[in-house]
Structures are given as C-alpha cells and as structure tokens.
Amino acid sequence: MAGAAAIMQAVESQKLILYQTDLRGQWPQGAARSFLAALPYARRLALRSARAASSASLAGVALALRALGDLLGRRVAAGELRFPAGEKPRLVRLGPAAADHTVDFSISHTGPWVACAALSGGRVGLDLEMGTDARILDWVVREATLKASGDGLRALREARALGVHAGQLSWRGVAWRVRQLEGFAGASACLVCDRDLAAIVTREVALAELFDS
C-alpha cells in the first residue's frame, strides 16, 4: 500500500493546473472591489497605484487562488499569498495538507488574457505576450524560464543565449521542460517547469465568475 501511495503521489505531483480568463467584457466592479479588500495591505497599495494593469493583476491573483485550491484540495485565502518585490509570488501559510509548501505558481497577463499555472512538487514559470513572431516566441521562453527559476528579469542579460532543444533548455544547472501553449488568440504563451508533466489541466473562468468564492 505504501508503494502504491508513493506512485500516486508522484503522478499527482506531475499534474499542472492552468487557469485562464479573458478580460473582454463587463468588469465585475463590485465583486472585484470586495476581493481587493481581502488582499494583504501591501498588495492592495501596489494594485491601486498601477491603475492601467490593476484589473489584469487582480484577475491573476483570483486565478492563482483557484489553481492553488485545485491542487491542494482546499480553499486558499487571499491573505495566504505574498508578493515580495523582485521575487516570485508565493503561498506562505501552510494548511493541513503536507503538500502546501511544495506548491509553486506563476501568473502572467497580456492584452485581454490572464492566466495562472500551478504545480505541486516542482517549479513553474508562465509568460504571455501579444504577438506571434519569432522575437516574441524567444522572449516568452526566456521570461518563463526566469520566472520558473526565481531569477526574474534582473537575469535577462545572462539568459539571452538560451536555446530550446527537443522541448528542453538548460539554465542554472537545471534541465527545464518547455511547452508552447495554445488558446490565447493573438498572443504567444510559454510554460517552463523542472519536471515532466503527466497532464496539463486547463480551466477557463468567465469574467463574471472570476471573483466568486
């Protein structure tokens, strides 16, 4: 039984959850305002100061809570997330599930598209950019890699020579798996993680339902 449980856990850790939404439509102003009020104080200030991107950023947080809750099998509260300057956002308060501290997630938005990828037992980076030419495709690979590794854009100069071969690239001594994603019309989307994935489960959330608990 212990061996079977270990196998099941390994398979589960390779499942990636991808939530996405399309911002075109009527913004749910009242629900969004209530959701914003539940975020940590520093994050509320940051969103209010970045007016142009605040709707997309707020949507990204809402998707992150859904994706993390899906992986952990419990409700994840907005207050459990932290967004340290220059670092990856993270889940900080451990819940009853032992897997809480192994969950990683990455949020990205461009144009009307917002998405969040969450993975248990590994590291993940997601990037979306409007456009589909070679320059944009190269950019999303690099930024998704830097998000996954936690280096962020401060290491962009070092990562200029990244090359993808057979769906993998090497960065910081790690063999990263690279997936180009579809489903974002007019945009390029790339997912980078440090493990083979058994499945990518994609869930679309309607704008009107984005902030439903």
Distance of CA 82 to the CA centre of its chain: 14
| pLDDT score for 153 | 77
Domain annotation covers residue 169: yes
Domain annotation covers residue 117: yes
| pLDDT score for 46 | 58
What is the rounded average pLDDT of the residues 184-213? 94
- Structure-model confidence comparison of residues 4 and 176, the more confident one: 176
pLDDT band at 8 (very low <50, low <70, confident <90, very high): very low
Domain annotation covers residue 10: no
Domain of 159 in residue numbering reads as 15-209
The 10 Å CB-count burial string (b at 16+, else e) for 152-166 is: eeeeeeebeebebee
Residue type at position 104: D
| pLDDT score for 53 | 54
Domain annotation covers residue 187: yes
pTM of the model: 0.86
Residues 59/210, Cβ–Cβ less than 8 Å? yes
Residue type at position 152: G
Task: Lowest mean pLDDT of 25-29, 54-58, 75-79, 157-161, name the range.
Answer: 157-161
Domain annotation covers residue 193: yes
pLDDT band at 48 (very low <50, low <70, confident <90, very high): low
The CATH number of whichever domain residue 135 belongs to comes to 3.90.470.20
Residues 123/150, Cβ–Cβ less than 8 Å? yes
| pLDDT score for 42 | 58
Token pair for 98: 């032992």
Distance of CA 86 to the CA centre of its chain: 16
Number of domains composing the chain: 1
Token pair for 147: 């998000």
| pLDDT score for 44 | 64
Residues 177/194, Cβ–Cβ less than 8 Å? yes
Domain annotation covers residue 1: no
Task: Lowest mean pLDDT of 15-29, 48-62, 80-94, 195-209, name the range.
Answer: 48-62
Output the DSSP codes for 71-91: HHTS---GGGEE--TTS--EE
Domain annotation covers residue 190: yes
Mean pLDDT for the chain? 84
Domain annotation covers residue 5: no
What is the rounded average pLDDT of the residues 111-118? 97
Please write the tens of the pLDDT for every residue from 171-192. Answer: 899 999 999 999 999 999 999 9
Please write the tens of the pLDDT for every residue from 52-97. Answer: 458 998 999 999 999 999 998 889 988 888 888 778 888 886 555 4
